[in-house]
Amino acid sequence: MPVARLSAILDALQDISSLSFSSFLIIHLSAPVSAFVWAGESTASSVQLLGRVWYQDSRIRELIFVWGSLGVHVLVGVVKRITRVDRVRRIRDELERSAKQSEQDVEGSLDNRKGRATPRPTLRQALRAYTPRTWHAWSAYLTIPFLMDHVFSHRLRPSTPISYLFVSHHLRSHLILSKIKYGALVSFATFHALVGLDRLWIKYGPAHRRKRRTLQESERSWTIRLGWLGVVSAVGLGMRRISQEPVPNWLAKRYDVILR
């Protein structure tokens, strides 16, 4: 398959999966935000229940909008990074060979040709080529371990659906660790989502309204910074109100089993 066509397919898959998962993310974060705006844990659990009607009542919808879109987005991101680095390396090697050949043709010396071998990159240089260079990419990779822990403890391990009383108990019984986990997950995921949505707006939005800018400019944009601060603050204050909700002892014991 031609490189340009593969790149276009990967871009389309990444764009579609990002929009699909963003719809779930907005609904998911609406619950703690509602706890900040209204009546604490009871409101958050009610909003969470309404969200589940949309994405959990149907296994197909959950598969598409949650697991499928998330898996495709992560996989495509990794493949794009590998193919992009390999493509850049091939272009660079071609340029080096062309420059070397031109120099050899001018000098016309066989000895010179033997003495000017292109040094092979070291392992450190090869690994460095695959290292993310933007905050947008870094935020994605930093989100993954916190997201895996969140999925396991909040979705896979509980035998039945849980309410935000579970979050309240988690925040009370593991004060520092739970704050780090929730805070890091929301911070990294929100930043990655906001920058990604900004890139989609630049790419697909109305031509007379969208402003062309680089990825780095999107990362430094005041709209992104203020949006990130607003979402993280609202979620954080909502979680604070949720943590103040008392949890019955019998339910706390059940939650302790899940958190072990």
Torsion region of 40: left, alpha or beta (phi above 0 gives left; psi -120 to 50 gives alpha): left
CA nearest to 31, candidates 242, 257, 255, 249:
242
Q: What is the DSSP letter of 246?
A: -
pLDDT score recorded for residue 1:
60
pLDDT score recorded for residue 110:
47
pLDDT score recorded for residue 55:
79
Tens of pLDDT, residues 191-218: 999 999 999 999 888 876 667 788 999 9
Find out whether 31 and 232 touch, Cβ atoms under 8 Å: no
Q: What is the pTM of this model?
A: 0.83
Which alpha helices (DSSP H) does the chain contain, by range?
3-37, 41-55, 59-62, 69-107, 110-115, 123-129, 135-151, 164-173, 175-204, 215-220, 222-243, 249-259
pLDDT score recorded for residue 36:
93
pLDDT score recorded for residue 94:
60
Low-confidence ranges of the chain (pLDDT < 50): 110, 113-115
Torsion of Cα atoms, 145 then 150 then 156 then 161, to 10°: -170
